[in-house]
A and B are shown apart, each in its own frame.
Chain A
């Protein structure tokens, strides 16, 4: 079983002319877990991953696998498997020939081509020209390419884009299995909801800089929670909150108080003699926390 290496980004930076695509990013990705690399469109995910893979030269900083840069890996495809956003196929080539070319280049046995095509469910279409493939089939072919060297590290850029529900279910299982086998799995997405069910860890970037790093659960507690409170006499309730110095906004289900502790709101109402009918913490969804972190989700 291939073992995963630690991916390490150290102060990696990339500027395209005047565009600061990635800005002094440092983080590590551990084996045995699925790490979601999240950020809105244009946040710099693809650029970061391409720097990791030696396709884009960093302006400064380094990215390594177990301390080794991609271009210095003795057996790159057997160490790292990558599927990048853009479909990179010659439309006139069959899937088998497409994979065969890179198997030859990497010195891998030809049986690997058949193996990975079967693994991604393309065995029946192996000898068709890729030009006729659907987007979902191309995504699978991209994954087949990533798997061809049976690598310990998987780097996948938006692999869920364009998949149908069956394909999404399949890839979620695939990601979990890969991590369970001890591989390092780094998977990017611009939608948290897309990968929420498969990731253990998240690295969130916005405008090229790190916005959050932690477990999926850590997203829950990171944003300031609010308390929802309501009662028959909203005006009295409003007055009581104002008098106590708690700021609030009027929501659909009640008053949204900018105060994390429901007990304190309850006490304010009780002291003012105002009856209340609703009192609970507003659970902001993961997606809300995510959007808050990346700046309200203003995608580029």
Chain B
């Protein structure tokens, strides 16, 4: 085997020999199951009339709010909410090398540092895709069951559903590589985690919301990573609640995410990866 495939195999071994990946996968599955199952039941119930909205106390609308195409929205939770998990995995896998000083044995075994970073990116791309599958097992697996139970067609025979599945897995894979980029850009593990959580849970949603109010900022808002990801997946509750917000095409969203990953990783290579290991 050549050096690069060996480096990829070693990076996979790193990921699978600590508990982090399956702890995150488990939390991802649980979180998305709750969201997709709960909201699937709520909206499915409203739509099918199984739940009477007037008894909900929220106000007496006549009939449920008509959400057309409920299933893709439910399925997209795996990425629109779950994307933080592959980013965290990538950032933890990368910053952990600095924190535990495992860069020393890593670079001794393979002094081609660019190759090692490339191997980590490939590995986290695949791991992110696996997280996509885990997220879909919750959002699509559980979501479809719940919606069927309420008499909503889960659209499992629809080719558009399966195209969404493919795009969602790609989005999650790209988020994994963005995590690697962030990890080399901000090698302090604590700082990296704080940035991931603050940005994904607070800063970006606020920016996306704020950017909707004028046309110019809306044009910029669609290039935010979360917005690009939603565009790639092709459906999300966020875009639903902002029908005026302009979005990118799915492939443009994919390219924007890819650009974030590349810029962060190359920047991080110079900021930390190729520096002295002391």
Please pick, from B6, B13, B96, B111, the residue contacting A71 in the complex, using a CB distance under 8 A. Answer: B111
By beta carbon, the residue of chain A nearest B107 is: A55
Please pick, from A55, A77, A92, A93, the residue contacting B109 in the complex, using a CB distance under 8 A. Answer: A77
By beta carbon, the residue of chain A nearest B274 is: A57
B6 & A105 in contact (Cβ 8 Å cutoff): yes
B100 & A88 in contact (Cβ 8 Å cutoff): yes
B105 & A106 in contact (Cβ 8 Å cutoff): no
A55 & B100 in contact (Cβ 8 Å cutoff): no
B104 & A88 in contact (Cβ 8 Å cutoff): yes
Residues in A whose Cβ lies below 8 Å from that of B19: 92
B114 to chain A, nearest CB (A): 11
- Knowing A57-B276, A93-B17 touch, does A104 contact B96 (C-beta < 8 A)? no
B277 & A91 in contact (Cβ 8 Å cutoff): no
Q: Which of A94-102, A199-207, A247-255 contacts B (4 or more CB under 8 A)?
A: A94-102
Cβ < 8 Å to A, chain B residues 225-278: 276-278
Residues in A whose Cβ lies below 8 Å from that of B6: 104-107
A106 to B108, CA, bound (A): 9
Q: A86 near B: Cβ within 8 Å?
A: yes
B104 & A107 in contact (Cβ 8 Å cutoff): no
A105 to B277, CA, bound (A): 19
A188 to chain B, nearest CB (A): 15
B150 to chain A, nearest CB (A): 43
A152 to chain B, nearest CB (A): 15
A145 to B112, CA, bound (A): 19
A284 to chain B, nearest CB (A): 35
Q: A292 near B: Cβ within 8 Å?
A: no
Please pick, from B10, B17, B20, B100, the residue contacting A105 in the complex, using a CB distance under 8 A. Answer: B10
A105 to B111, CA, bound (A): 11
Please encode chain A, from 43 to 54, with 1 for each CB lying within 8 Å of some chain B CB and 0 for all others: 000110010011
Q: How many A-B residue pairs have CB under 8 A?
A: 86
A128 to chain B, nearest CB (A): 13
Cβ < 8 Å to B, chain A residues 142-169: 145
A79 to chain B, nearest CB (A): 11
Q: A56 near B: Cβ within 8 Å?
A: yes
A102 & B109 in contact (Cβ 8 Å cutoff): yes
By beta carbon, the residue of chain B nearest A74 is: B3
A92 to B7, CA, bound (A): 21
A91 & B10 in contact (Cβ 8 Å cutoff): no
Q: A84 near B: Cβ within 8 Å?
A: yes
By beta carbon, the residue of chain B nearest A21 is: B278
A50 & B111 in contact (Cβ 8 Å cutoff): no
A76 to B104, CA, bound (A): 13
A101 to B14, CA, bound (A): 6
A105 & B107 in contact (Cβ 8 Å cutoff): no
By beta carbon, the residue of chain A nearest B18 is: A92
Residues in B whose Cβ lies below 8 Å from that of A71: 111-112
B13 & A100 in contact (Cβ 8 Å cutoff): yes
Q: B54 near A: Cβ within 8 Å?
A: no
B100 & A89 in contact (Cβ 8 Å cutoff): yes
B278 & A76 in contact (Cβ 8 Å cutoff): no
By beta carbon, the residue of chain B nearest A106 is: B109
A105 & B7 in contact (Cβ 8 Å cutoff): yes
Q: A90 near B: Cβ within 8 Å?
A: yes
A135 to chain B, nearest CB (A): 15
By beta carbon, the residue of chain B nearest A100 is: B13
Cβ < 8 Å to A, chain B residues 1-52: 1, 3, 6-7, 9-10, 13-14, 17-20
A102 & B10 in contact (Cβ 8 Å cutoff): yes
Candidate in A46, A104, A145 with the most chain B CB atoms within 10 angstroms? A104
A50 & B17 in contact (Cβ 8 Å cutoff): no
A76 to B278, CA, bound (A): 19
A86 & B10 in contact (Cβ 8 Å cutoff): no
Residues in A whose Cβ lies below 8 Å from that of B112: 71
B7 & A54 in contact (Cβ 8 Å cutoff): no
By beta carbon, the residue of chain A nearest B2 is: A107
A2 to B17, CA, bound (A): 31
A81 to B110, CA, bound (A): 13
A98 to B276, CA, bound (A): 22
A82 to B107, CA, bound (A): 11
Candidate in B6, B20, B96, B112 with the most chain A CB atoms within 10 angstroms? B6
B105 & A145 in contact (Cβ 8 Å cutoff): yes
Cβ < 8 Å to A, chain B residues 174-208: none
A106 & B110 in contact (Cβ 8 Å cutoff): yes
A90 & B100 in contact (Cβ 8 Å cutoff): yes
18 A-B Cβ contacts within 8 A?
A: A54-B111, A55-B276, A55-B278, A56-B276, A71-B112, A90-B14, A90-B18, A92-B18, A93-B17, A97-B17, A100-B13, A100-B17, A101-B17, A102-B105, A102-B108, A105-B10, A105-B110, A107-B6
**Interface residues of B, Cβ cutoff 8 Å to A:** 1, 3, 6-7, 9-10, 13-14, 17-20, 96, 100-112, 276-278
